Structure 1
Amino acid sequence: MLAVALLPGASLALPVVQEAGWALTHTDFLENVNAAHFNPVDGKLYATSTTSIANGGGLYRINGDGTSTLLDAAERPVGVVVDHATGDVFYSILGDGVITRVDFATQTPTLWVDGFHTGDDDPVGMAIAPSNYVGAHLLPGQAVVVDEGTNGPDEVWGWNIGSPQGEFAIHSDTAGNPSPMQQPVDVTVTATDIWVVNVSGHALYKIDALGNAIPFFTSQVLGQVSAITVDPITGDLFVIEKNTDEVLRIDPVTGATSVVINGFSFIDCCTDIAGLDFSPDGSMLFVTDRGTETIYTFSMVPEPGSLLLGLVAGLALRRARRS
């Protein structure tokens, strides 16, 4: 049986795995935590503390031993995305309406994008198009961010991780062509499509080649969906459903939906967003729960039968080497 490292502040009422093949293997704690994402360059998590600078708001590195390191103070930061090639970390700031890059090698913050829609900007969840992306609007390695539209437009923007500024509209919200999304909060990119989740109104949208947000329907009716990512192994979508405190798996073709993990304590509405991520190989799933101020790490575990087969194969190989 796998041991779970419970660090200070972790909830005693742990989430419950419903889908075979996963196990809770680690927990980390950060006050006002949001949007923890994995950095394969150093094997650590990076997350925002979504509060004021005076109360500790900013981007943090989660050290994995019960401590965290403040990398850049910020007013109400939210989303995080990591460049898996360089380790550079990008995070969105509601208070300033910008995206900041923190260089992995120097830990130096740089204002990266600040020219979205004129007026009140609210960038939140972000994603980077994978190397095998063949869909519209983005090139592999380009990034996307959603604007949740508080007192402004609900939009989707593209931008570049290799050079600052140069943002471009993918889905616009104008008087003549209003967006059907009421409060988009997170985005992911599969090999073929850009997907957006909306915490108010219809929950899940796919952006078509013309930039339209097309509602996608699932076998389970969704309510407040606050985070989305893609399983690197299967290509399925994973989402957080706040109404039922669940992480769900969604087939992006059929809409078939199943419960992966439940028993979380997600906070309703406008906080606790963009908090799902996978390791690049798909072996670890990271879930951020603002309600317990905890980041949960779930790891793939072999089924008993496959574990036994692996053991038998290993013994056979060792015997063959001895003979």
Structure 2
Amino acid sequence: MMFNQLIALYTEGDLAQLSSRILHSTAWKQHDFTAYGSMQINKLWLKSLEQFGFLQVTKRHEIQGDNFSALYVELSKESALENEYVSLTFFFEHNNEHIKRLHCVVDTLALARLLQQEPSVLINALPTPDPLLLSQFDHQLHPKSYHAIPNDVCNLPSHISDTVNQWWNIWQEKQLVGFKSIYSDTAQIQIAGFGSHEGFKQLRDFQLKVHNRMNRSYCQLENICVDKDENSLAVKWHIDGDYIDNGKIKRIRVPVISVLMIENKRIVEEQLQIDWLALYKQYGLSYPFV
């Protein structure tokens, strides 16, 4: 039910239904800004409706977990071309009645194209990101420390466990050989800001560019929700590192939500969601990131 209410907010402007799912203590994070309580959250919703409200859903994927669920949607205008859409990913904690915490990631680069705005214009319209204190911990100085894998975060079904852990090794251990072994040759890959592509090669190129633009890059798991009936899952994680920006080094954190669909131990579809323009605003980065 919450999936339909989330979609109705953006497609119909139905605030009442979703408001009934919000508690006084609910935290709604979007564009790296966290709104608390109905007043702040409603203001965030209204701004979203101004930017990308009353569009039609062209794609949706639901991941129903026990205490955590996720929803991926693509919204576009009726007259839009095939690649003119904005994607949103919601990862939320709930008790089947109310939303406790929610993180919404918007593909703001795609949104800028949809609105026919320069990225700098949309950046100015985004809320001020939360202050973030990043530690100077360097995992390379602690080679004997244990680094969490997906099985440590949740109980993965046995038939997808190996695939998910190998997927994580691609990012955490930079084990690039994993692309060929766990991705279908015709996997549909959606990278925020880069659009949709068939096959994993663009995703591999993207991974290399990200790590080559950062020193001491380290990927950290946050949470996972699994829809055991559908062989799909959403992974909430982030990349820490020293980003090299026009000769200057900036300590940054890149929040990511990845949505994976697995068949016969191979990834057949993936959405990698990052709110690029919120990232640029938070750290004063130059465009583009990679």
Settle same-fold status: TM greater than 0.5.
no
TM-score normalized by the length of structure 1: 0.23
TM-score normalized by the length of structure 2: 0.25
* Greater helix fraction, Structure 1 or Structure 2: 2
Structure number with greater Rg is 1
